[in-house]
Structure formats: C-alpha cells, structure tokens
Amino acid sequence: MIAFDNVAYNYGGGELLSDISLRLAPGSFHFLTGPSGAGKSTFLKLAYAELLPTAGRVTIFDRDVRGLTRDDVALVRRRIGVVHQDVQFLDHLPLAANVSLPLMVSGKAGDPRDMTDLLQWVGLGQLADALPPQLSGGERQRAALARAVIMGPDVILADEPTGNLDWEMSLRLLTLLVELNKMGKTILVATHDLNLIRTAKNQVAARVLRIRNRRIQLAGADL
C-alpha cells in the first residue's frame, strides 16, 4: 500500500531520516516509535504525501509521490485517514458536522445513519450536537478517529493518538484501532508509549518500527 525505498529526508539542516526502506502491507498493523524529535511525525507526513522525500522514493498505492498532481494527492488522501498529533476542529460547528467535514469537502452526501453508527462506534453518540470546546481530551481523540475513517480509507495513520490521554482512555482508543485493523484496514500508529505497544501486542500481530540514528529498525522482543 505504502512503500519507502531508500528514503531520506531533511528540512534543510542535517539529514533527519536516512536510507529508509519498508513496506506497509495491506491489512498490517505497525507501531512507529522513537524519542521525541526522532522524526515520527515527519515519517507519517512522507507516508501521506504531505512531504516529498529529499532522496529515494515513496510509493503510495503503487504511485510514486513525485509524479502526483494536486488532484492525485487529493484522491490518495481519501484513501488514507490521518489522526493528527494536534487535533484541530472548527469550534463553532457541532461535533457531527466536524466529523463529516471530509465528506462535505469532497462533495459527497453522507448517509445520516452511517454518521450515527460511526459516532456510536467511537462512543460519542450522545455528543453529536456538542461543540468541540465542550469535549474532553479523550472525546476529541475519538472524534478525530471518527473523522479519519468517515471516507472509508484503506489506511489509517495516527500520530500520537493517545498523547494526552489517561491509560483507560488510551486503551479505549487502541481497541478502536485494533477493530479497524480486524476490518482489514492498514494501520500505522506513531507513539512513544511503550506500554501501549506492549498491550497491543496481546491483541493484534503488530510490527514495531523504531527510529534510531535516523534509520528505521524493526524492534524485537527487547521492547
């Protein structure tokens, strides 16, 4: 689905990521870990064509990101749901409208029943009319996940989705991600929470990628 071949990236200073080659196979579940500043968010941005590699090649759905037009990028993005590190909502719009924003932007009429089902699935059925500032951190993260999946993406990229959540809420979010994976979605979660990764490994066959010295390595049992 998404492939990196000898990818490097730098923002203009020294090289941040070097010589990265890996493949996210359909239906796989990956964690991406590494200390703050290691380049996790940068890696995700490369994976959804927000950034272009400074060397090597990133292929998304069999297309080299370098050859993508603006319209192509928009189409690719419909197949990739992203949960951003700093979740942003339009504060004057109710939760349901915020979650369905991707549908509106792409000119699709969503089925209101699907919307109800989706909000219930993330446990926000009662909060459809709430405004974002009224939501707790855990509610915001679950709303962000609902918004990321509303277009029915094949791939979900989540950047520190449990960053500010307590343990119980983190587990709840993890359960949703595992459920999505069981439905066949390809999942990549960037997190520095090793407890979350250890817990997830009991629920799903996840591979753990670790950024170390600018490179990505497969973490083993030493986690």
Ligand X SMILES: Nc1ncnc2c1ncn2[C@@H]1O[C@H](COP(=O)(O)OP(=O)(O)O)[C@@H](O)[C@H]1O
Among 38, 58, 118, 188, binds ligand X (CB under 6 A): 38
Q: State the minimum distance, in angstroms, from the CB of residue 66 to ligand X.
A: 19
DSSP state of 22: E
Q: Which is nearer to ligand X, 42 or 181 (CB)?
A: 42
Residue 98 near Mg ion by CB under 5 A: no
Q: Which stretch binds ligand X (CB under 6 A): 29-37, 63-71, 148-156, 199-207?
A: 29-37
Min dist. Cβ of residue 162 to ligand X (A): 14
Cβ atoms of 216 and 210 within 8 Å: the answer is yes
* Beta carbon nearer to ligand X, 66 or 212: 212
Sequence-separated (6 or more) residues with CB below 8 Å from residue 88: none
Of the residues 18, 28, 42, 170, which one makes contact with ligand X according to CB under 6 A: 42
The residue number with the shortest CB distance to Mg ion is: 41
Q: Say how many residues touch ligand X, by CB under 6 A.
A: 10
144 binds, among ligand X, Mg ion, none (CB under 5 to 8 A by kind): none
Query: What is the Cβ-side half-sphere exposure of residue 104, based on CA atoms within 13 angstroms?
Result: 9
CB of 120 to ligand X, least distance (A): 32
How many CB atoms are closer than 10 A to CB 35?
11
Phi then psi for 10, rounded to 5 degrees? -140, 150
**Could you tell me where the DSSP H helices lie in the chain?**
40-47, 70-78, 95-99, 101-105, 112-121, 137-149, 167-182, 194-200
Indicate which single residue of 24, 28, 40, 196 sits in contact with ligand X (rule: CB under 6 A). Answer: 40
Nearer to ligand X among residue 14 and residue 107 (C-beta): 14
In terms of C-beta density within 10 A (0-12 exposed, 13-18 middle, 19 or more buried), how is residue 221 classed?
Answer: exposed
Nearer to Mg ion, 4 or 96 (CB): 4
Binding of residue 33 to Mg ion (CB under 5 A):
no
Query: Which neighbouring-strand residues pair with 208?
Result: 31
Query: Do the strands 29-33 and 55-60 form a parallel or antiparallel pair, or are they unpaired?
Result: unpaired
Beta bridge partners of 159: 190
Binding status of residue 41 toward Mg ion by CB under 5 A: yes
CB of 10 to Mg ion, least distance (A): 16
Q: By CB under 6 A, name the binding residues for ligand X.
A: 11, 16, 34, 36-42
Instruction: Tell me which residues touch Mg ion (CB under 5 A).
Output: 40-41
